[in-house]
């Protein structure tokens, strides 16, 4: 991935209905979304110039905003067209796609019912989150200190910017220890997810994954569950306690950025990337490249 700062790149960003030169896509420092976390976003990928499961992402984008008590001022059809326009205008075949919506600067207090809702869409080059050799070895995960909150305390089914604060803290802490990421538990101490990806485990030829009721039910997660079922692999969505990790054979995580990435260890627990992980990596690659 390029290390060029994001505000110094070239290209075009769609913002509030217009294509702007990249460096002209600005917001005011007193925007409500910056101060109070009133912002939602999506993480998507285009393969061969087409955004994978674009409609599902756009529908979730709209739903995320509703959960934060605001309405995106563009229809699903308008957002769909704008996303593809940005991919095409920037001349990208394989890229990351980031729609984001936030409350503007008309009000600067907790309540901001009259703040304008702004929407922007940007794309950029983003190769595989982990290189191929690292994927084949399996990545190492720490166990995060922070936990996913009780769904009665936060809109956990919204892809809301504020919900990622503890993810950033946890990933930084893991990377300082030499890990690639961290596994997060839920508010009751059960296995939940990673800081930006969902978790899967294998045992006796079947897949086990936590119930997505206090964290985002990822679109990649659902895709991989479907791919596994097509293969006749059993999928059990259930509560998983940390002490069960010693009984699992394989572990992998899924997400737009991670795609399907095997895991070799989580804290004291060890896993051996095997046939199920490899099969689903290959099936996912084939699925996203269908046109």
Q: Which of 159, 171, 177, 290 is catalytic?
A: 159
Neighbouring C-beta atoms of residue 161, cutoff 10 Å:
19
Contact criterion met (CB below 8 Å) for 240 and 191: yes
Dihedral of alpha carbons 271, 269, 237, 148, sign: negative
- The three-state secondary structure class of 167 is helix
In the structure encoding, which two tokens stand for residue 266, read together? 């989580």
83 catalytic residue (yes or no): no
Beta-bridged to residue 169, according to DSSP, are: none
3-state secondary structure 192-250: EEECCCEEEEEECCEEEEECCCCCCCCHHHHHHHHHHHHCCCCEEEECCCHHHHHHCCE
Token pair listed for 273:
């990337």
Distance set, CA 103 to CA 132, 162, 228 (Å): 39, 13, 39
**CB atoms inside a 10 Å sphere around CB 7:** 9
Catalytic residue positions, numbered: 159
């Amino acid at each position: 991935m390029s290390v060029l700062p994001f505000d110094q790149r070239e290209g075009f960003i769609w913002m509030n209905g217009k294509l702007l030169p990249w460096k002209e896509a600005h917001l005011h420092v007193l925007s409500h979304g910056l101060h109070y976390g009133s912002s939602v976003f999506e993480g998507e990928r285009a393969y061969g110039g087409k955004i994978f499961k674009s409609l599902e992402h756009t529908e979730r984008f709209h739903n995320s905003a509703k959960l934060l008590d605001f309405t995106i001022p563009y229809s699903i059809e308008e957002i769909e067209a704008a996303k593809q326009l940005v991919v095409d205008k920037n001349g990208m075949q394989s890229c990351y796609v980031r729609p984001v919506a936030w409350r503007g600067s008309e009000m600067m207090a907790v309540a901001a019912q009259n703040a304008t809702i702004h929407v922007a869409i940007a794309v950029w080059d983003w190769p595989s989150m982990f290189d191929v050799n690292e994927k084949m070895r399996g990545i190492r995960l720490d166990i995060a200190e922070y936990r996913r909150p009780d769904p009665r305390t936060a809109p956990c089914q919204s892809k809301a910017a504020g919900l990622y604060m503890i993810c950033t803290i946890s990933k930084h802490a893991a990377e300082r220890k030499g890990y690639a990421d961290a596994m997060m538990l839920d508010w009751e101490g059960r296995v939940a997810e990673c800081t930006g990806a969902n978790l899967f485990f294998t045992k006796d030829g079947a897949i086990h994954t936590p119930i997505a009721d206090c964290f985002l039910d990822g679109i990649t997660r659902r895709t991989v569950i479907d791919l596994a079922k097509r293969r006749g692999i059993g999928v059990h969505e259930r509560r998983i306690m940390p002490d069960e990790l010693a009984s699992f054979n394989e572990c992998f995580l899924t997400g737009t950025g991670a795609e399907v990435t095997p895991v070799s260890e989580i804290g004291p627990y060890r896993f051996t990337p095997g046939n199920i992980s490899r099969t689903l990596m290959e099936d996912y690659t084939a699925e996203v490249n269908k046109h």
